[in-house]
Amino acid sequence: MIDSTALLESDFPNLIHRGKVRDTHFVDEETLLMVATDRVSAFDVVLPTGIPGKGKVLNQMASFWFEKTKHIIPNHFLKLGVDDQRLDCYSSDLKARSMLVKKAERLDVECVARGYITGSALLEYQEKGSTSGIKLPEGLVESDKLKSTIFTPSTKANEGHDENISFDQMISIVGSDIAEELRHVTLDLYSFAHDYALSKGIIIADTKFEFGIIDNQIILIDEILTPDSSRFWDFTKYEPGKVQESFDKQFIRNWLLAQNWDKEYPGPQLPSAIISETSRIYLEVFETLTELKIN
Ligand SMILES: Nc1ncnc2c1ncn2[C@@H]1O[C@H](COP(=O)(O)OP(=O)(O)OP(=O)(O)O)[C@@H](O)[C@H]1O
Ligand SMILES: [Mg+2]
């Protein structure tokens, strides 16, 4: 298996940020190289075992959606690493998992759109009848489709967990004009992507976007509409009232929960059956959604 962590550290002297899954490298003052590794995190801990093929799927799925949504809002995507001569000195594996993007000044909020109620939004709803300050109808159950999509921003924490915030709190971070614009664009992007995915048999239950500014213009940045930033459900298996299996790390999470692991670093090594099943799921969702083959 590829040890993407070791490979990247030695190949790239210009690493400027290491996320749980992706590495960001400086290319020039205006350009970044984002590399999606095969690292996988569960319960916010990066596990010792990677998922072969996962990075390529994330990278190529994000580029698919950047292309598909550019009529809604411009984005940072320049080109897949595979096409760029400046990357010729690196291995083809690395090129297939990377993209060149325009460097932006990040807006420090995460913009979440939810068309269905689950996860932290459901917990808050069960406690207060509302989520992120938005009152919701009574009687909603796990995974119910919402009458209209809700916008639930969260902080973009440099350390620790992101925290859900109200729209008013978001205004205090980015100002009201930008907050309104981000809400509007987030809901437009979600609506477009939800309908597209549904036509391929996949429900996008919720998703998160990040935005930045270049030359006074708001653009879409980071990764978009991947299994790491969204919940993808199989439409044919959708059944409100219970937790849906999502097309991503569900197998890993279930297996981990059965291990008595304390959710502290380092997590346990994953068995090979769990690894290969997870690889298969990432590939399946990519091919189903995009009708493309992975590079
Ligand atoms: N075009 C861009 N210009 C500037 N910063 C960007 C751009 N696109 C993404 N970013 C930022 O680069 C970083 C990418 O890191 P990544 O998402 O891998 O890790 P993270 O958000 O710190 O942690 P996590 O692993 O929880 O996602 C994020 O901070 C993101 O906001
Ligand atoms: Mg991130």
- How many residues in the chain? 295
For a substitution probing ligand 1, which of 222, 224, 228, 265 has the most ligand atoms within 8 Å of its CB? Answer: 222
pLDDT, position 1 = 36
Q: How far apart are CA 206 and CA 154, in angstroms?
A: 13
What separation in Å is there between the alpha carbon of 222 and the centre of ligand 1?
Answer: 6
Separation of CA 5 and ligand 1 centre (Å): 17
Residue 89 and residue 165 share a domain = no
92 alpha carbon to ligand 1 midpoint, in Å? 23
Ligand nearest 222 Cα, by number? 1
Q: Is residue 242 part of a domain?
A: no
Identify whether 100 is part of a domain: yes
Give the domain extent around 76.
4-104+266-290
CA of residue 21 to ligand 1 center, whole Å: 10
Atom of ligand 1 nearest to the CA of 102: 1
The verdict on residue 244 lying in a domain is no
The whole-angstrom separation of Cα 246 and Cα 281 is 10
Together in a domain, 131 and 22: no
Give a yes or no: residue 214 inside a domain: yes
Q: Could you list the pLDDT tens digit for every one of the 295 residues in the chain? A: 334 444 444 455 588 999 999 999 888 899 999 999 999 999 889 999 999 999 999 999 999 999 999 999 999 999 998 677 766 766 777 778 999 999 999 999 999 999 999 998 999 999 999 999 899 999 999 999 999 999 999 998 766 677 889 999 999 999 999 999 999 999 999 999 999 999 999 999 999 999 999 999 999 999 999 999 999 999 999 999 999 988 888 889 889 999 999 999 999 999 999 999 999 999 999 999 999 999 8
146 shares a domain with 79: no
Q: How far is the CA of 10 from the centre of ligand 2 (A)?
A: 23
Question: What is the reported pLDDT for 12?
Answer: 55
What is the C-alpha to C-alpha distance for residues 181 and 184, in angstroms, rounded to an integer? 5
What is the maximum span of the chain, computed from C-alpha positions, in angstroms?
A: 58
CATH of residue 89: 3.30.200.20
Pair 115, 76 in one domain: no
Please indicate whether residue 76, judged by its CB atom, sits closer than 6 Å to ligand 1.
Answer: yes
- Residues 73, 146, single domain; the answer is no
> Do 233 and 122 fall into the same domain?
yes
pLDDT, residue 2, reads 39
For the chain, how many structural domains are there in total?
2
Minimal CA–CA distance to 62: which of 276, 234, 288, 286? 286
Ligand nearest to the CA of 157: 1
Nearby residues of 66 by Cβ (< 8 Å), 6 or more positions away: 75, 76, 77, 220, 224
Same-domain status, 41 and 127: no
Q: How far apart are CA 122 and CA 91, in angstroms?
A: 44
In a domain, 54, yes or no: yes
Within a domain: residue 247?
Answer: no
Residue 94 belongs to some domain of the structure: yes
Does the Cβ of 48 fall within 6 Å of ligand 1? no
**101 in contact with ligand 1, CB cutoff 6 A:** yes
